Chain A
């Protein structure tokens, strides 16, 4: 029914795997996110403040880089800690759950952390004074009041996993376990219009699943807003931290260990692997810079670096600039059209990247044919990638900036208008300086994921259109582990550095941008 060469059984198999993978990740990250959010906001866990920021870092890490790191660690042949994995190593369903959860964890965590921070702590303290132990307080008061953000966070984890391509491609495809996104990719790779047509039909299926979850998520956000007033603290009071007592040392140790295993371990694995002469030989005496040198001198790497830098810088600047003006028009000038455009940006943002790419392939094929009729030829993968990035990531900055405009008192603008400022001068001399911090944050939150984008790039790439993501993916596919690890290590280091500087931003601000 889907196309020649692809059986219904294969589609159903991929669909079921997509659903069960996303569900498993949603539940695991929901439970873990809930526990950690509670520990860092409500208990006296050691280093709680530091952990609170650090645990939001996975949000900014491309999951496929962690996937590559886990291949170094859990490769069934030469994995550094392959003993802890079953026979297939990290490949397979369990590996995908592990790696996707590491990143998807951030959604329920950030949602709940914001929930705990907004909630009046007296509501929980009143229950403790009534005689309830911490666990009972959570069950009777915190959970009944905070389940909407928690379930919403789980929906976002679900959506994230459903849409993700890199991890299932690296950990699932080698053992012939397909999910919807990787099935679309493999159909597309078969080439020809039949492959694209099959990919499109599967994309619609993927889009349908995503929209179902999105509707649920939007309802929960609305419910949260309605309830917000009843549970928000009128004055900002510091909550009395729950003493973990004898549990404090083990809780602290386990939480820090989990963080180390989720972030530091993969980073270290890539570093070791990048310096190993061959996969599996990690002895320090044999360390070499050859892999790094090799990768840095690779012509594809040069091409990818130029493309990815140019794309992320130019598209992010364009998108943030447009968001700055649109948000101004929508919030400060009450423009309905601008408001509508910002709303509409949410659609591609929530649409799986695979679906966007497949649609754009259709559009680009059509455009090329149309222009061919006039004797013109236009076939630039970089252009279409830039187009795809702009579609996918424009919502982040527009929403962040709209929220920022809303927070500034109108009198600041009115004072400038009374002084004779025109709109242009107003934007340049008042709004831009006032919102510069948000503008910079929005720019980085937009540019960083573009720099390492894989899901759409891998479908849209073509001659001259290599990006960081596609080069890495190729190196990984050619099973050139040390070179792939070297490049992944550079990218992960950059992503971690970026994430580390963004960690101080309030959870709510990051969520607003999403």
Chain B
């Protein structure tokens, strides 16, 4: 069991409360979506989990391991999460293969096993035939698949995605929604997915956490939220579909 648990995690920038203390549980194998309007703090929450930002308070625990807590702050490179960024962040000076190979190389895996791992993952995202290309030779969708493969290749305990589809056109978005959902089912991995797009959250997630102004407004399965949206913000937000 390697559930990801957040206990009272909060973030302040100066005087401003970006995130009020919150508890979130991402159970092993689930697909949790952090949903909310831009500037609500959902990306900050994801970055706190990744270790790219430091919480002001609280505890982050993965399975039995404390990632952040009193006297503990494991740096991002040792948290073993995979992460996909909004801007893809595919390295322009490396081929698709080298991009995906990088996490394995950094961790000292030998060349032969690296090659196997990379090709297996590229196959999953249908990029195996483009392994030798450089990013500037790829479309936006192909770059995003490369980023996805790079996040998946080391079989992370949790895959973190930060608005991964927001830079794609509508048709590609629909295609990628389907593919990410299929990947989740096929691989049984745990996914934490930040989005402002309700459609993405409701189509893919097994659990949705709705955040507004640094606070959790409601959490539940897509069906629960759809059937019984909390009065106030959530109802208002969902009506703007």
Contacts and interface: CB of A to CB of B under 8 A. Distances in A.
Contact of A128 (B52, B73, B86, B151): B52
Contacts of B80: 131
A243 B47 CA distance: 14
Contacts of A132: 77, 102, 106
Contacts of B36: none
Contacts of A144: 93
B54 A122 contact: no
B214 interface: no
Interface residues of A, number: 25
Interface of A: 120, 122-123, 125-133, 136, 140-141, 144-145, 227, 230-231, 233-235, 240, 243
B132 interface: no
Contacts of A127: 91, 102, 106
Contacts of A235: 86-87
Contact of A130 (B73, B106, B160): B106
B133 interface: no
B65 interface: no
Contacts of B167: 234
Q: Chain A interface secondary structure, helix, strand, loop or mixed?
A: helix
B83 A126 contact: yes
Interface in B1-59: 47, 50, 52-54
A227 B92 contact: yes
Q: Name, among A125, A130, A132, A233, the residue most crowded by chain B CB atoms within 10 Å (CB to CB).
A: A130
B103 A131 contact: yes
A131 B154 contact: yes
Contacts of B93: 144-145
Contacts of B103: 130-131
Contact of B92 (A128, A145, A240): A145
Given A131-B106, A132-B106, A243-B75, A125 B92 contact: no
Interface string B110-132: 00000000000000000000000
Contacts of B185: none
Interface string B130-164: 00000110000000000100110010000010000
Given A129-B81, A140-B102, A227-B92, A234 B87 contact: yes
7 contacts: A126-B147, A128-B75, A129-B52, A131-B106, A133-B77, A140-B102, A240-B47
A379 B169 CA distance: 71
Interface in B55-98: 73, 75-78, 80-83, 85-89, 91-93
A126 B89 contact: yes
B95 to A, nearest CB: 13
Residue of B82, B83, B106 with highest tally of chain A CB at under 10 A: B106
B89 A240 contact: no
Given A123-B89, A240-B52, A129 B102 contact: no
Contact of B77 (A123, A128, A140): A128
Contacts of A233: 87
The 3 closest A-B pairs by CB, nearest first: A240-B52, A122-B89, A130-B103
Contacts of A234: 87, 167
Nearest to A133: B77
Contacts of B54: 243
B69 to A, nearest CB: 15
A141 B105 CA distance: 14
Contacts of A123: 89, 91
B107 interface: yes
A129 B92 contact: no
A125 B81 CA distance: 12
A132 B105 CA distance: 9
A230 B83 contact: no
A123 B85 CA distance: 9
B73 A122 contact: no
A123 B147 CA distance: 11
Nearest to B151: A129
B92 A130 contact: no
Contacts of A231: 92
A322 to B, nearest CB: 41
B77 A122 contact: no
A233 B167 CA distance: 13
A115 to B, nearest CB: 14
Nearest to A242: B75
Contacts of A136: 106
Contacts of B89: 120, 122-123, 125-126
Contacts of B107: 131
Contacts of A122: 85-89
